[in-house]
Amino acid sequence: MRDLLKRLDIESTNPGGFCGAWLGSGERLDSVSPIDGKTVASVTQVTVEEYQRIVARTQEAFLAWRSVPAPVRGETVRRLGNALRERKDDLGALVTWEMGKIRAEGQGEVQEMIDICDFAVGLSRQLYGLTIASERPGHRMFEQWHPLGVVGIISAFNFPVAVWSWNAALAAVCGDACLWKPSSQTPLCAIACTKIAERVCRTCGVDPAIFSLVIGRGGTVGEQLIRDRRIPLVSATGSCAVGRHVGAVVGERLGRTILELGGNNAIIVTPEADLNLAVRAILFGAVGTAGQRCTSTRRIIVQDSVRDELVNRLTAAYKQVAIGNPLEPGTLMGPLIDTAAVETMMAALDTLKREGGEVLCGGQRLEGSKHAGGCYVTPCIASARNEFRIVQEETFAPILYIIGYKTLDEAIALHNAVPQGLSSAIFTRNLLEAERFLSACGSDCGIANVNIGTSGAEIGGAFGGEKETGGGRESGSDSWKAYMRRQTNTINYSTELPLAQGIRFGD
């Protein structure tokens, strides 16, 4: 561990603010690993006064960065991607230590950062506007996109580095500066990434304050950020409750938001499904990251004729899941993030039983020498009804609800009958069922898949959801437009002054 931290330039105690210089004189924050309950390192959080200094400095960096040609901005992001490649193993290991993901998932998260940098480099030469036919003779009309300003990024513990990169890489090539407020549960990952970005910027002769950082309490520094009129866009990842607050506060000042909130993701399994394929997808979707992904599979809506067979196969698969230290080879599920998450899972199962549900397997705390100090549980399969209150909520834990159906129309209705709308899937070899699910009358989610699970989105597609998931989109496609301001321009190259809509004035 000491060698890992040294390679990532992490000290035993680290300042939690950056804007070209490192600062932080506030309360001490310990980063405690969910693997063994021990402190990895500590952070001195920023004060409100230091936050103000950081924002002012970030705004100053933006004013210079916006004038740099977009392809040149892309070169900085290209070098950032290469620097992340060089530190992939170390950063992935830090994600595992601080968040609890197994090694493969920690490495995969860093690969997402690399991929989005590559995507953004290409995008830096494709920030296209449009030429529009004017109704007035002798006029040319077009639109163009300009840098927006300072982008506030609020990330959650479950993806401690990737979410920053989804926003920061795109925002940087768009000419924006970024101010990152990471989760207080994973501050070291943020410091490590910021130090890598700092070195890249200095090598490129770029003001490193375009990648600024504030680590502090949500009730102080977080509130300052979302209320700050110098920050025209806030991209926030978190629970629906957090999103409602962020959306309301930023909306009150007429700022913009990208909200990536909770999911209650379901997979419909029809009699036409390849059950071997479905079981593998469900297992990863429900158990991967210990059920702590916004795209984790929460509900299985299965046709009654194949329900028993599917449950039997899933139960057998769950019993083979190796649970333990995520640093060890062969581990498939690590710990929950903290003891509060374990308590939340146990409370959810108690509620399920009171509402009439039944635990079919799993759902226990794991203790003993092998799991000492950590936050380990067994993944749970439960029989439930879609209308149960606990099923309508997102419990950030490996709980999988089994819900039966008779007709495909009923299955789609059950699928859509939750407040959230992030990711969804159907397993079927029937073309009509697949197309029905993807139609306007099918899934109401931002992501809808056929014969793959709900988890594991690629950076090339815009990521986000509908309803209480927030409606925001990050990463690929044309999501870059959220980080820029659109401007419509008209040039009159005639000697006349015709008005639009054929209006004649003063003749």
Model confidence pLDDT, tens digit, residues 141-168: 999 999 999 999 999 999 999 999 999 9
Look at residue 304 in the predicted model and tell me its pLDDT. Answer: 98
Q: Which of 189, 198, 119 is nearest to 476 (CA)?
A: 119
Look at residue 456 in the predicted model and tell me its pLDDT. Answer: 83
Model confidence pLDDT, tens digit, residues 286-341: 999 999 999 999 999 999 999 999 999 999 999 999 999 999 999 999 999 999 99
**Residues contacting 149, CB < 8 A, separation 6+:** 59, 62, 176, 177, 230, 231, 232, 233
Look at residue 1 in the predicted model and tell me its pLDDT. Answer: 86
Supply 180's token pair. 């990152």
- Residues 33, 39: Cα–Cα separation, whole Å: 6
Model confidence pLDDT, tens digit, residues 77-121: 999 999 999 999 999 999 999 999 999 999 999 999 999 999 999
- Residues 427, 230: Cα–Cα separation, whole Å: 47
CB 470 within 8 A of CB 261: yes
230 DSSP 8-state letter = T
Average pLDDT (466-486) is: 95
Q: Which of 208, 209, 161 is nearest to 182 (CA)?
A: 161
The phi, psi pair for 282, rounded to 5°, reads -65, -40
Average pLDDT (469-480) is: 93
Mean pLDDT of the chain: 97
Look at residue 505 in the predicted model and tell me its pLDDT. Answer: 85
**How many alpha carbons fall within 13 Å on the CB side of residue 421?**
19
- Residues 455, 281: Cα–Cα separation, whole Å: 9
Supply 232's token pair. 């025209």
- Residues 430, 303: Cα–Cα separation, whole Å: 14
- Residues 266, 432: Cα–Cα separation, whole Å: 19
Check pLDDT > 90 for residue 463.
yes
- Residues 163, 439: Cα–Cα separation, whole Å: 29
Check pLDDT > 90 for residue 476.
no
List the Cα angle 147/164/250 in 5-degree steps.
60
Model confidence pLDDT, tens digit, residues 401-436: 999 999 999 999 999 999 999 999 999 999 999 999
- Residues 354, 200: Cα–Cα separation, whole Å: 55
- CA 285 distance to own-chain centroid: 16
Using only the alpha carbons of the chain, give its radius of gyration: 24
The catalytic residue positions are 260, 294
Q: Which of 212, 183, 187 is nearest to 197 (CA)?
A: 212
Model confidence pLDDT, tens digit, residues 169-195: 999 999 999 999 999 999 999 999 999
Check pLDDT > 70 for residue 507.
no
The phi, psi pair for 224, rounded to 5°, reads -60, -45
Look at residue 216 in the predicted model and tell me its pLDDT. Answer: 97
CB 323 within 8 A of CB 429: no
Model confidence pLDDT, tens digit, residues 8-43: 999 999 999 999 999 999 999 999 999 999 999 999
256: helix, coil or strand? strand
Burial class (CB in 10 A: 0-12, 13-18, 19+), 430: middle
Whole-structure pTM value: 0.97
Model confidence pLDDT, tens digit, residues 270-285: 999 999 999 999 999 9
- CA 350 distance to own-chain centroid: 29
What are the CA-CA distances from residue 205 to residues 20, 202, 505 (Å)? 12, 5, 54
Pick left, alpha or beta for residue 331 (phi over 0 → left; psi -120 to 50 → alpha; otherwise beta): beta
- Residues 85, 111: Cα–Cα separation, whole Å: 8
Of all residues in the chain, what percent carry a pLDDT higher than 70? 100
